[in-house]
Structure formats: structure tokens, C-alpha cells
Structure 1
Amino acid sequence: MAKREFRVLIKYCFLKGKNTVETKTWLNAEFADTAPGKSTIRNWYAKFRRGEMSTEDGECCGRPKEVVTDENI
């Protein structure tokens, strides 16, 4: 299962009022081999508590994937 799909499931549990332990137990029962770790679930719960309800990856600074310069053209 993709990371984004797990994030949606974590958000679902958060909105249902489950805590991180209940969420981890449920995900382990349903997706034993691929369930995210405790720290991942805690991090997403913290984001949801801050009001960041998006399940997408955020922008990250750093080197762009493609660099356009006169030398490359």
C-alpha cells in the first residue's frame, strides 16, 4: 500500500477520535507487513492536531530536480 493511502487511514482514525496506540494496533491487524511505525503515526497525529489536514508531502527546499542554465541548453 502506498504511503499516501496509509496517511489517509491515519487521518481517518484521527478524525474518529482514536489515539495513536489504537491506530497502530488496527493498522498492524489489517496490514501486518506494511503498516507504518509508531513514530510515523505520532508525527502525522501531531500535524493533524496543528490543523495541517493535508495528506500530501510538503514542499522541501534543496536542489531542484532539473536545473536550466545556458550551459545545459
Structure 2
Amino acid sequence: MELSRIHWRAMIFYNYKCGLNQSQSLEPLRLAFGDTAPSRTIVFDWFAEFRRGRVSLEDEAREGQPLSSTTQEAVAAMQALVEEDPQLTVQ
């Protein structure tokens, strides 16, 4: 079973709420999960977030262009353009 970011954050939040410090939180994660455990930086950063009052484990919304906007309509439109002009290139 592969753990998601939310799973890791939940474990870190639990350790934070139990009164552990960052190093005390990291040690059992590394013991239990080895190389797949979150890095020291991740644990320390999330402890800082929780100290600031953050309780959400979800990623915050960010401005900017989405990484991907592939839809069936967009794919169909691109296929039609390429079929119409095979010399067309897409960037």
C-alpha cells in the first residue's frame, strides 16, 4: 500500500498533537517506513505549519495555470487540426 501525502501529514499531525517534537516524530516514521518515510524537511515544515494554526492536511489552492488541462474536447480538436494539416506541430 502506497501512502499519500494526506496519510503522511495525518501521522505528522498526530505526533504534533501528542506533544512530540519534530525529531521524535521523524524517528518512528523512519523506523516503520524506512526510505519511504517523509524527509526531515517535510516533517519540520509541517510542524511549523501546525504551530501557525493550520489544521487542514489538504494542499492549498495556488494561482496560476493548471499543470494539465486535457479534456476529450481538446484532444478531439487537436486530432482534427492534425488530420487537416499533417505538417502542423504542437508545442
Query: TM-score, normalization: structure 2?
Result: 0.69
Larger Rg: 2
Count the aligned residue pairs: 69
1:61 shift after superposition: 1.1
RCO (CA 8 Å, sep 6+): is it higher in 1 or 2? Answer: 1
1:38 aligns with 2:40: yes
In the aligned structure 2, how far is the partner of 1:5 from the partner of 1:43? 16
**1:39-63 superposed Cα distances (whole Å, 9 cap, x missing partner):** 1011100110000111100111111
Amino acid at match of 2:25: T
In the aligned structure 2, how far is the partner of 1:45 from the partner of 1:63? 29
Task: Give 5+ residue unaligned stretches, structure 2.
Answer: 78-91
**1:16-54 superposed Cα distances (whole Å, 9 cap, x missing partner):** 000000111010011112100011011100110000111
**How high is the sequence identity, in percent, across the aligned residues?**
32
Query: TM-score, normalization: structure 1?
Result: 0.85
Give runs of aligned pairs for residues 16-35 of structure 1, distance below 5 A: 16-35=18-37
Structure 1 segments (4+ residues) deviating >3 Å: none
Amino acid at match of 2:36: T
Task: Give 5+ residue unaligned stretches, structure 1.
Answer: 67-71
More helix by share: 2
| Equivalent in the alignment of 1:6 | 8
In the aligned structure 2, how far is the partner of 1:21 from the partner of 1:42? 8
